[in-house]
Chain A
């Protein structure tokens, strides 16, 4: 078996202090193999987004081991973690998180601001926009785009650095069903053609349906689908709802 892209062991995470302390993750362990497309499902507050943020290095686990793309987060400096996000991990958020004062192209090439990227930045940015079908929108501001177009720009930004791992948090949550279907189809194609590993937090059955594995969470623990390459497309039927 190939070594996993993501390896989580006994991850714990709490928020708050004293009596208000709430345990969000309770000893989560999970392995994800290279090229997998995993859907992370569960009810609101089950810890899906927190787990995704910990995998992406956007949040820190209180306990346990996180190993992503060969980086043991406990031994990885803040700078190295930033570099990992810059070069190897792409994020797609439900709220798109585009910067309104930048053009679409500038949003897409934003990661290049934090690396010594070469002169072909704009070319690569346009290529990324072209992949999501928005080459003609390079000079527009996000405020001029529809929700679906915004999400495609956000996907283009996530793909700009040719990441090995794409982490998506409710990517279709703010989209109508037709646009959401296009996005899902794009993810499937990306996974199939480019071998990008995808972890998608979702409550949409359509996403679960295309996933090679569905990991279901409840109350901060994985209740189904923790094993590698275990096809559990029907899992989480009773776990839907907002993430």
Chain B
């Protein structure tokens, strides 16, 4: 089971659903249209050749400031290169964030039978930040979707109990959004330090 097999099985089965795909250094990824998330996820879980029985991770990314400032070389001091050196050309580079969508919701699937993994990326516009919930297929998606809602404000249609999970109910806003003020404090008691 190679990365290309997984990508191919999704793009063959759902030619209209996949917007793009890549396998940057072995991370097989399919960028999906939002409407087709549920059927693709059900196929990945139930098809005998994929059998993704484990939802490893579910999170979101806010791309609203991506590429608008100079890139910070976070790892330069540790000796890890931020971009690949010319000696190591990338055959299949990471294509960058999806266009015209502020958020991307990411799903990492793993199959304990076939020992392979696949990532789905679903671009989500700012106007309607909502995707379908996967709790019916993977019960473990429940808290992960609550976390994505809490931190990024991305809603999940069909979630049984979409409440905040990390922050308190009185908290206003979603702290991992790029437009959440970095100095904004909302203490329950005590001063606004």
A and B bind: no
Give chain B's interface residues, CB within 8 Å of chain A: none
Give chain A's interface residues, CB within 8 Å of chain B: none
